[in-house]
Amino acid sequence: MRRLVFITLVVIAPGIGGAQTTPDSAASSRTPWGDPDFQGIWTSMQEAGTPFERPIELAEQGITDPQNPEALREQQRIDRDPEIRRQSEEQLDEAGGLGTGAGPVHWYENLDPQKSRLWFVVDPPDGNVPALTSEAQQRMAARAAARQGLGNDEPRSGHWVEDLSTFVRCITRGLPAVYLPLAYNQNFQIVQSPGYVTILYEMMHEARVIPVDEGQRLPQHVRQWWGDPRGRWDGDTLVVETTNFSNKTNYLGGHTSEAVMLAGEEGDENLRLVERFTRVGPDTIDWSVTVDNPSNWTRPWTFSIPLTRDDGQKWIFEYACHEANYGIAHILSGARAKEKAGR
């Protein structure tokens, strides 16, 4: 993967420039038109390696708070242990990167996490995603049977790119998966103007324009990769409700439990997301999202990830997806060769 500098020229009209703030006032700072000011570059990288759901060992210890101070201190001690880090880096290099062949250890930006959470799911209170519906379980079982003996993103015999995720095809990582901390490219730039909030995501180089109004939504038959978002202010919290998702969107792939990831790989037009962005300090946005998909889960559920201001990041780099240029052709040609060999 190559990273090229992406430079944006922004012409700021009089009266629309960002106000200067001190660290103490940043959490309550306002734009010139009176909205809470979220502008800047943010990252979720500091939470890299945090489990999506509550780990069994923490449940056995009776820990119910994902910000339990004592358990967090122990996790941070482990993260900083030089011998454990050395072993982790060796394993990454040997595996080619997180066991996926994604690249050697020098690609990775998440080797020095500073976790503030022990897990991400906050509702249900037990820290676990609710049960799948019986229909979702049947769909997953059928898909597992059809892909028996195949590797991740390996096409079935006679099939083509429809067997490859939108992430592997470099189309989109999906929403809300784009916020989940992975190995690199976990930066987000927020830009505000009257009536709009725009978020530029480094991963896949996607931009999301969110109208902040009660305007009319897209017709039900119009479906988009990232749905149709509408924002509103609830005090100082930006609430974004998104519907009209495409059934082709991989919306929860990567950095989740296996069951959640598999269910989230199936796009669903019934999906509804409600995000809440709250500035809780000069350098922190509390971002939470409620996933409501009655086709997959027996009840809505919520997870939360803190976004940290990254003052060292002066711009967002262009995401040049090498895999989209060569990897797809190699995956497909390998599958055709396997078929020809009768395997």
Query: Token match 């962005």: residue?
Result: 277
Class assignment of domain 2-7+29-50+120-340?
mainly beta
Q: What is the pTM of this model?
A: 0.80
Which runs of E-coded beta strand occur in 46-178?
A: 121-123
For residue 70, give both structure tokens. Answer: 């004592």
For residue 160, give both structure tokens. Answer: 């083509």
pLDDT (tens digit, 9 = 90+) per residue, 97-113?
Answer: 444 444 555 555 555 56
Q: Does the pLDDT value for residue 163 go beyond 70?
A: yes
What b/e string do you get for 217-234 counting C-beta neighbours within 10 Å, with b at 16 or more? beeeeebebbbbbbbeee
More confident of the two residues 313 and 62: 62
What b/e string do you get for 138-157 counting C-beta neighbours within 10 Å, with b at 16 or more? ebbeeeeeeeeeeeebebee
Query: Token match 């430079």: residue?
Result: 7
**Mean pLDDT (the chain, rounded):** 78
pLDDT (tens digit, 9 = 90+) per residue, 54-71?
Answer: 999 999 999 999 999 999
Provide the pLDDT for residue 263.
58
Provide the pLDDT for residue 167.
76
Provide the pLDDT for residue 13.
37
* Residues paired with 241 in a beta bridge: 230, 274
pLDDT (tens digit, 9 = 90+) per residue, 188-197?
Answer: 999 999 999 9
Provide the pLDDT for residue 250.
72
Which segment of 74-88, 143-157, 282-296 scores lowest on mean pLDDT? 74-88
Q: Does the pLDDT value for residue 87 go beyond 90?
A: no
Which runs of E-coded beta strand occur in the chain?
A: 2-5, 40-43, 121-123, 187-193, 196-201, 206-211, 228-234, 237-243, 272-281, 284-292, 301-309, 317-320
pLDDT (tens digit, 9 = 90+) per residue, 237-282?
Answer: 999 999 998 877 777 765 555 556 555 555 577 889 999 999 999 9
Q: Where are the domains of the chain?
A: 2-7+29-50+120-340
Mean pLDDT of 139-161: 78
Q: Does the pLDDT value for residue 155 go beyond 90?
A: no
Whole-number percent of the chain with pLDDT over 70: 76
Helix (H, G, I), strand (E, B) or coil at 138: helix
Provide the pLDDT for residue 36.
95
